[in-house]
Amino acid sequence: MELNPTIADPRLQLIATARYFYQQGWMVGTAGNLSARLADGSFWITASGKSKGELLLNDFVLISPDGKIEASATQVIPSAETAIHQLVYRLFPESLACYHIHSIESNLVSRLVEGDSLLLPPLEMLKGLGVWQENPYCVMPIFANHFQVAQIAADIEQRFAVTPPQISALLIRDHGFTVWACSLEAARNYIELLDYIFRYMVAAIRLGINI
């Protein structure tokens, strides 16, 4: 695969989105990862150890549908969470983007419950996530964090086989959240909407408001 960009190269949009997320404080240091799926099932993913505020075109690795590296710049390796992106694209083949960020609020709300799901408040913002019911009951799955990302991916696959998620998102306790969508724009919207909901939850608790 040619590493030089074309007009349709999703890396250009991923670079802009990563810079925006970095500016929001959601991808500090080298945290977080973004990917975009291509028509043949392969996907570009951010390389490990790169600042998301300063990404270049060569800071991405092309991964085949079976998880093999197809193309990369010299001396870069794919994100440690490539296994989760690969699983998302396999479970949800309509998805063209998968984003993972580490926001303070997402880590805080992952601690609000001891169980494996988080009840989201019935805010209007849920409509942007595809939840259109009046006073909806919407839960977001929470997964334990493991040093071995393959174990997180295995947990996700096992649970989703039994209980598909209500929304295209999941929390990893103390490790941020991941979204997937049918376009890069939609995935960015999901990140923003969920961050708003998490900030609302944290603020409500601080003010003593029942959520």
Helices and strands of the chain, counted as H and E runs: 5, 9
Q: CB–CB of 33/83 below 8 Å?
A: no
What's the order of all strands across the beta sheet hosting 33-37?
A: 69-72, 60-63, 43-46, 33-37, 97-101, 177-181, 169-172, 138-143, 117-120
CA neighbor of 73 nearest in space, from 1, 160, 170: 1
Q: CB–CB of 103/189 below 8 Å?
A: no
85 labeled part of a ligand binding site = no
Report the alpha-carbon distance of residue 106 to residue 21 in Å, rounded. Answer: 14
Amino acid present at 155? D
102 labeled part of a ligand binding site = yes
Q: CB–CB of 50/31 below 8 Å?
A: no
Q: Which residues are annotated as a binding site for Zn(2+)?
A: 100, 102
